[in-house]
Chain A
Amino acid sequence: MRRFLRTGHDPARERLKRDLFQFNKTVEHGFPHQPSALGYSPSLRILAIGTRSGAVKLYGAPGVEFMGLHRENNAVMQIHFLPGQCELVTLLDDNSLHLWSLKVKGGVSELQEEESFILRGPPGAAPSATQITEILPHSSRELLYLGTESGSVFVVQLPGFRTLDDRTISSDSVLQWLPEEARHRRVFEMVEALQEHPRDPNQILIGYSRGLVVVWDLQGSRVLYHFLSSQQLENASWQRDGSLIVTCHSDGSHCQWSVCSDSRSPEPLRSSIPYGPFPCKAITKIFWLTTRQGLPFTIFQGGMPRASYGDRHCISVVHNGQQTAFDFTSRVIDFTVLSEADPAAAFDDPYALVVLAEEELVVIDLQTAGWPQVQLPYLASLHCSAITCSHHVSNIPLKLWERVIAAGSRQNLHFSTMEWPIDGGTSLAPPPPQRDLLLTGHEDGTVRFWDASGVCLRLLYKLSTVKVFLTDTDPNENLSAQGEDEWPPLRKVGSFDPYSDDPRLGIQKIFLCKYSGYLAVAGTAGQVLVLELNDEAAEHAVEQAEADLLQDQEGYRWKGHERLAARPGPVCFEAGFQPFVLVQCQPPAVVTSLALHSEWRLVAFGTSHGFGLFDHQQRRQVFVKCTLHPSDQLALEGPLSRVKSLKKSLRQSFRRMRRSRVSGHKRRPGGPMGEAQAQAVSTKAERTGLQNMELAPVQRKIEARSAEDSFTGFVRTLYFADTYLRDSSRHCPSLWAGTNGGTVYAFSLRVPPAERRMDELVRAEQAKEIQLMHRAPVVGILVLDGHSVPLPEPLEVAHDLSKSPDMQGSHQLLVVSEEQFKVFTLPKVSAKLKLKLTALEGSRVRRVGVAHFGSCRAEDYGEHHLAVLTNLGDIQVVSMPLLKPQVRYSCIRREDVSGIASCVFTRYGQGFYLISPSEFERFSLSTKWLVEPRCLVDSTKTKNYNRPSNGNGTGPKRTSGQVRNSRSQSDSEEKKPGPVMEHALLNDESGVLKEIQSTLEGDRGSYSHRRSHRVAVGCSLGNGEAE
């Protein structure tokens, strides 16, 4: 306490703190949660996605990202870019319009809301009179046409949102131009379609929901043509030359109407029900696109046979006798087709289909035969199977990076070779200073490797552990395998697949050694896999072992799930990480902690019952230790896991129900109304819930922790260290384990030297056991060397990547529990310092990580500190080894339990946490390591309308962009001086990795040889990144 107070008053330290720490939420990775609207600007080549929580996100070329949030937290219903401008208009579900613009400030563009507007009808008019259903930004760039539920089209002038009452196209004025029979047969209803004539800005098409379509002359204020359909209209659009109108209808049909002055035929030119003859669902949107080759593309959403495929979310593409119904696993929000943007061009020549589904974005290459998917450089669906854990590895050696990418590229052969077609704007962000990997474990037993170096979180490689096990479902079942004559011609697209075959496969812990390429992965059913990176596909058997963590405990029965059955015999593994050892814990409880030491070839794992150490070189168990308290019945029988899974499955099914109910809602007559009602009901429910809460106030029991609390044996953390465990003269390898009950176990290990590694056994002996009196769960263990620097990672020193630890001074042990930080001396384990967190402020440590904070002023200055996330969502930096709190920022809402639980810190003061099941928020505590989008979008830029080329050819040249790029690079260099990049080069230990490889194979290269090699590779990296 006194210690704490004293820190605040040292001005030099305060200054230094400002140089070291800074909190920023920099970028959101992944797919926006609950998207509700899609917009695309052909001139800017920028995509916009609106969400139900009122966010607008803009995406262009990789690295070009913007985000805006409406003050009102209402769902975004529509997004329209103003033609040829850096402005867009959003419509929210409260019927308000908002104008956003991309303004250039200090060399980078910023998205900001300019103004908002609510359409007011004449006094006394029904509210539906002004309920906006369609928006048409006119090519004159200053008018917005707003179609409403009443059938009137209002005109608003931009900027300023001034309503031009005299130009309103009311249904009455339309009516007087119609012949008698049309007037009688149709009552006007809401405007369903509003389109400008592609060639003549004075003509607009207005489609009404009852089936009437008119072409209105803006100057003459008269109806030029009208078309009457017998079916409810869903949407309508022009053909490129304006000679044809395409409409789609609620019965699953679409029609073409010829627009020529003399023919006033009431019948459509052509009409078809693509999935007839049985009743079909509505086609809600249609594109009719011409090609140079002559045969048009018809692309439409919906229209599936109601009875058998009514529940599918499909978009059909018809071209040249080919027809495919792309079948999405989640509801389609909206879609658009990327085609020739130049209005003067004769043909549309579509090249890509962009579909925004509820859970993912899918882009389909329409130029390549077979219409393959295009791999996303961003907006990845992180949650294609629910994320169960994550692990971050900083500063990946180039060699490992390349091997992971090579393994990943073999998995991506089915993707199109088309360059990413949405490439507007220029990213000005400096190249990422180092290569970072984010590994996410998923419920379906996969581990995904993401490139987390820059603004775009890109999937590099996907590892599946399923093959090792026998599961109920046949892995050979191929969903996309369909017979030739299947009708409708469905094809599954997208990667979102939330349904796990077997929850036991879920990945719970990941540990990757970046130097050796060893990976340890542990899962829900007590399975621990050790994997090795192999560049070739191989078929081999996985060595199996069982670790009986209950050992001498008698008479207990495990009532939880069974352990997974391993597949016997050799298994064929594709290139990449291939498992070679499988350890299964008995009882098969969730693995709660995992540590891998690639130098000693040891893997340690812990569950709620105990922990074990496995020698993966000799493939034998070294020891197991049961940590159970005799009274800990719960952990032994494992009913908790069962209860939990039941609860979880219930919760999921509810969520599914809710989602499907939401999915059912599309804007329809009365749709918004229905939603408003639903909201009213839910707020009412909330209110009654609140009242109930007030009747029974929340109470908290104050009770000291006792040793008998259940789950005290739960192993929370495992740590390998080479330190002075027994006496101060000799250091030895050691394994440390911390439990939920505040106990720390230390085992001294004897690892035979490399030359006798296979002959002698690894031995372990318990050396110490520390019982923390406050009995709070131990969440972190760390050993500091004589200079109070954390011990380096295994192999780090062996390969010159880190200073070797100081073995002269006395080592210190840092134990982080949920409530306190404590420093002990080694080997005597005397308490030296402590910082009580909970006792002083009531917060508990949820996540802790060691981070190196570099100074933004002095290039070579840096400090190691602890980054801490508490249960209140606060992030603190606590100094080492004096345990002084440095800074504190509030980061996550305290109610956001899953966000807090998902947080992961990097080694350089950044971090990630889930803000929704599908999005990681990236934050930075460091002044030096900051990854955030810096980009420029310019409407005046003369973009040539080149479509993206396929293959390896060069993309559209952006000369003007490059000029700007160089200017702003100097700009950014002021902020982040060159040495950042230099650091990357220095740290580029690619040559070293080769050396590691050779050491692993038993061949030690000479130092000088290694050195020269490294320089060479450093150069090649520089070239590589300059492209």
Chain B
Amino acid sequence: MNRGHRHGLSSGCLGTMEVKSKFGAEFRRFSLERSKPGKFEEFYGLLQHVHKIPNVDVLVGYADIHGDLLPINNDDNYHKAVSTASPLLRIFIQKKEEADYSAFGTDTLIRKKNVLSHVLRPDNHRKKPHIVISMPQDFRPVSSIIDVDILPETHRRVRLYKYGTEKPLGFYIRDGSSVRVTPHGLEKVPGIFISRLVPGGLAQSTGLLAVNDEVLEVNGIEVSGKSLDQVTDMMIANSRNLIITVRPANQRNNVVRNSRTSGSSSQSTDNSLLGYPQQVEASFEPEDQDSDEEDIVIEDSGEPRQIPRATPEAQSLESLTQIELSFESGQNGFSPPQDSSLDTELETRAQGQKLLEEDGTIITLAGRNEVLTP
């Protein structure tokens, strides 16, 4: 998806893109080659240069097509910003010490004017509570509720995104029995339940799973008839992209189906998001769950690389894109310093493989839909 999207746009705009940058009350305008935006650090340096604030730490934000103010703090969201800007990329710069983090958000109602008023008059936003986005190192989803439209309302399908090892999945399951309605009346059947959430773990931080929730499926496979150990193994084997369907013990927070929810996905616990126009989330459909599992091959030269698919199928296009992005980001005619930068990149990867794993997956993020729960 990234690829097609990007290419389509770049061809339409003939390669250049206008940037309007605002710092305090000053505006600067300059243009950027869309096909080779370069790295975030270079862009950051450029901004400091054009605003003549070389030694000031700043936060960079941009207004996306929906008028939301979103941060730019790494290569990924920088590329996202560049690729979605049309026709103009609006940049807002704040000094770090006086930054208003709450200005960033997905509040769909914020118009461009509102964004400006937020930046100009930081107190304004308190009138209207909205989702607050923190400033993480990387911008990525940790969980989502999916398949709302095809599941009974009493069930919830939760996807946990696990990156690297910095945060444990952090929950425990146990055997138990649940009551089912059958043609012969109520029947007690064995079931698997969440028994404990580790404080600070991923599961707890999503707020989507709770103790005593009954686990019904793991990555689309029913757990009925399976032993606790089998279910444990299934969850661990899928831990990099775990989708569990639960029947929440607390049935009062269920997602209410909304006629406007046309797509198959919905976000997080907060119902306020349900009315949100659905954005394509193709990169997280179950079919490509493999994409985050590419093995690493280190050839005798010592360069690690991820293993591409041998035969490109429809679903593997995406993984190819990944490789492209992570290693040959300047494919489309981006030339001179490429070699050196590639080398340094590989060096860092050789030091820590974990870093590499993450690189592979981060690229696939579509910046729009990600929600970090507080």
Seen from chain A, the residues whose Cβ lies within 8 Å of a Cβ on chain B are 1, 697-708, 726, 748, 765-774, 776, 819, 822, 824-825, 828-832, 834, 836, 838-844, 871-872, 894
Whether the pair B297, A829 counts as a contact (CB closer than 8 A) is yes
Q: For residue B292, which residues in chain A have a CB less than 8 angstroms away from its CB?
A: 773
Whether the pair A839, B238 counts as a contact (CB closer than 8 A) is yes
Shortest beta-carbon distance, A724 to chain B, in Å? Answer: 14
Whether the pair A726, B300 counts as a contact (CB closer than 8 A) is yes
Beyond known contacts A819-B233, A831-B309, A832-B311: 7 more, CB 8 A cutoff? A702-B171, A703-B236, A726-B300, A771-B296, A773-B292, A871-B233, A894-B227
Expressed in whole angstroms, the Cα–Cα distance for A764 and B142 within the complex equals: 45
Whether the pair B237, A836 counts as a contact (CB closer than 8 A) is yes
Whether the pair A705, B295 counts as a contact (CB closer than 8 A) is no
Whether the pair B230, A774 counts as a contact (CB closer than 8 A) is no
Expressed in whole angstroms, the Cα–Cα distance for A776 and B234 within the complex equals: 12
Q: Which residue of A lies closest to B293 (CB)?
A: A773
B130 within 8 A of A: no
Whether the pair A768, B236 counts as a contact (CB closer than 8 A) is no
Q: For residue A702, which residues in chain B have a CB less than 8 angstroms away from its CB?
A: 169-173, 203, 232, 235-236, 239
Q: For residue A766, which residues in chain B have a CB less than 8 angstroms away from its CB?
A: 300
User: 1/0 per residue B227-258: CB within 8 Å of A?
Assistant: 11111111111111000000000000000000
Q: For residue A822, which residues in chain B have a CB less than 8 angstroms away from its CB?
A: 295
Q: For residue A824, which residues in chain B have a CB less than 8 angstroms away from its CB?
A: 307, 310
User: 1/0 per residue B189-233: CB within 8 Å of A?
Assistant: 000000110000001000000000000000111000011111111
Whether the pair A700, B229 counts as a contact (CB closer than 8 A) is yes
Whether the pair B165, A776 counts as a contact (CB closer than 8 A) is no
Whether the pair A832, B237 counts as a contact (CB closer than 8 A) is no
Whether the pair B357, A773 counts as a contact (CB closer than 8 A) is yes
Interface residues on B, range: 35 or more
Output the residue of A748, A768, A831, A832 with the most chain B CB within 10 A: A831
Whether the pair B295, A699 counts as a contact (CB closer than 8 A) is no
23 contacts between A and B (CB under 8 A): A699-B174, A700-B172, A700-B231, A702-B172, A702-B203, A702-B239, A704-B239, A704-B240, A707-B165, A765-B300, A771-B295, A771-B297, A771-B298, A773-B357, A828-B310, A831-B309, A834-B290, A838-B233, A838-B237, A840-B219, A842-B231, A843-B230, A894-B227
Expressed in whole angstroms, the Cα–Cα distance for A828 and B235 within the complex equals: 31
Whether the pair B295, A840 counts as a contact (CB closer than 8 A) is no
Shortest beta-carbon distance, A400 to chain B, in Å? Answer: 39
Interface SS, B side:
mixed
Q: Which residue of B lies closest to A747 (CB)?
A: B300
Q: For residue A774, which residues in chain B have a CB less than 8 angstroms away from its CB?
A: 237, 240, 293
Expressed in whole angstroms, the Cα–Cα distance for A190 and B60 within the complex equals: 99
Shortest beta-carbon distance, B303 to chain A, in Å? Answer: 11
Shortest beta-carbon distance, B17 to chain A, in Å? Answer: 36
B294 within 8 A of A: yes
Shortest beta-carbon distance, B197 to chain A, in Å? Answer: 10
Whether the pair B299, A704 counts as a contact (CB closer than 8 A) is no
Expressed in whole angstroms, the Cα–Cα distance for A844 and B299 within the complex equals: 29
Q: For residue B203, which residues in chain A have a CB less than 8 angstroms away from its CB?
A: 702
Given A704-B239, A770-B295, A830 contacting B175 (CB threshold 8 A): no
Shortest beta-carbon distance, B367 to chain A, in Å? Answer: 24
Expressed in whole angstroms, the Cα–Cα distance for A832 and B357 within the complex equals: 20
Shortest beta-carbon distance, B167 to chain A, in Å? Answer: 10
Q: Which residue of A lies closest to B241 (CB)?
A: A839
Shortest beta-carbon distance, B82 to chain A, in Å? Answer: 30
Shortest beta-carbon distance, A731 to chain B, in Å? Answer: 16
Partner of B234, one of A707, A765, A841, A871: A841
Q: Which residue of A lies closest to B360 (CB)?
A: A773
Whether the pair A707, B353 counts as a contact (CB closer than 8 A) is yes
Partner of A768, one of B220, B293, B300, B308: B300
Whether the pair A840, B234 counts as a contact (CB closer than 8 A) is yes
Whether the pair B233, A830 counts as a contact (CB closer than 8 A) is no
Partner of B296, one of A1, A765, A773: A773
Partner of A707, one of B170, B195, B219, B354: B354
Given A699-B196, A700-B228, A819 contacting B169 (CB threshold 8 A): no
User: 1/0 per residue B318-342: CB within 8 Å of A?
Assistant: 0000000000000000000000000
Q: For residue A832, which residues in chain B have a CB less than 8 angstroms away from its CB?
A: 309-311
Shortest beta-carbon distance, A704 to chain B, in Å? Answer: 4
B159 within 8 A of A: no
Q: For residue B24, which residues in chain A have a CB less than 8 angstroms away from its CB?
A: none
Q: Which residue of B lies closest to A773 (CB)?
A: B293
Shortest beta-carbon distance, B205 to chain A, in Å? Answer: 15
B34 within 8 A of A: no
Q: Which residue of B lies closest to A829 (CB)?
A: B297
Q: For residue A894, which residues in chain B have a CB less than 8 angstroms away from its CB?
A: 227
Q: Which residue of A lies closest to B308 (CB)?
A: A830
Whether the pair B310, A831 counts as a contact (CB closer than 8 A) is yes
Whether the pair B307, A842 counts as a contact (CB closer than 8 A) is no
Whether the pair B309, A703 counts as a contact (CB closer than 8 A) is no
User: 1/0 per residue B278-306: CB within 8 Å of A?
Assistant: 00000000000010111111111000000
Partner of A838, one of B174, B196, B234: B234
Q: Which residue of A lies closest to B239 (CB)?
A: A704
Partner of A842, one of B174, B229, B298: B229
Q: For residue A700, which residues in chain B have a CB less than 8 angstroms away from its CB?
A: 172-174, 228-229, 231-232
Whether the pair A842, B294 counts as a contact (CB closer than 8 A) is no
Expressed in whole angstroms, the Cα–Cα distance for A673 and B129 within the complex equals: 78
Q: For residue B229, which residues in chain A have a CB less than 8 angstroms away from its CB?
A: 700, 842, 871
Q: For residue B171, which residues in chain A have a CB less than 8 angstroms away from its CB?
A: 701-702
Q: For residue A831, which residues in chain B have a CB less than 8 angstroms away from its CB?
A: 294-295, 307-310
Expressed in whole angstroms, the Cα–Cα distance for A768 and B309 within the complex equals: 17
Q: For residue B233, which residues in chain A have a CB less than 8 angstroms away from its CB?
A: 819, 838, 842-844, 871
Whether the pair A704, B169 counts as a contact (CB closer than 8 A) is yes
Whether the pair A841, B299 counts as a contact (CB closer than 8 A) is no
Given A766-B300, A773-B240, A706 contacting B165 (CB threshold 8 A): yes
Shortest beta-carbon distance, A659 to chain B, in Å? Answer: 31
Expressed in whole angstroms, the Cα–Cα distance for A705 and B233 within the complex equals: 11
Q: Which residue of A lies closest to B299 (CB)?
A: A768
Expressed in whole angstroms, the Cα–Cα distance for A843 and B221 within the complex equals: 13
B152 within 8 A of A: no
B275 within 8 A of A: no
Expressed in whole angstroms, the Cα–Cα distance for A697 and B299 within the complex equals: 48
Whether the pair A842, B226 counts as a contact (CB closer than 8 A) is yes
Partner of A705, one of B226, B228, B239: B239
B157 within 8 A of A: no
Whether the pair B240, A768 counts as a contact (CB closer than 8 A) is no
Output the residue of A767, A769, A773, A840 with the most chain B CB within 10 A: A773
Q: For residue A705, which residues in chain B have a CB less than 8 angstroms away from its CB?
A: 236, 239
B168 within 8 A of A: yes
Q: For residue B195, which residues in chain A have a CB less than 8 angstroms away from its CB?
A: 697, 699
Q: Which residue of B lies closest to A765 (CB)?
A: B300
Expressed in whole angstroms, the Cα–Cα distance for A828 and B311 within the complex equals: 13
Whether the pair A842, B172 counts as a contact (CB closer than 8 A) is no
Shortest beta-carbon distance, A623 to chain B, in Å? Answer: 14
Which 6 A-B residue pairings sit nearest by Cβ, starting from the closest? A842-B230, A704-B239, A838-B237, A700-B232, A830-B310, A842-B234
Shortest beta-carbon distance, A854 to chain B, in Å? Answer: 31
Whether the pair B173, A699 counts as a contact (CB closer than 8 A) is yes
B176 within 8 A of A: yes
Expressed in whole angstroms, the Cα–Cα distance for A609 and B50 within the complex equals: 56
Shortest beta-carbon distance, A901 to chain B, in Å? Answer: 16
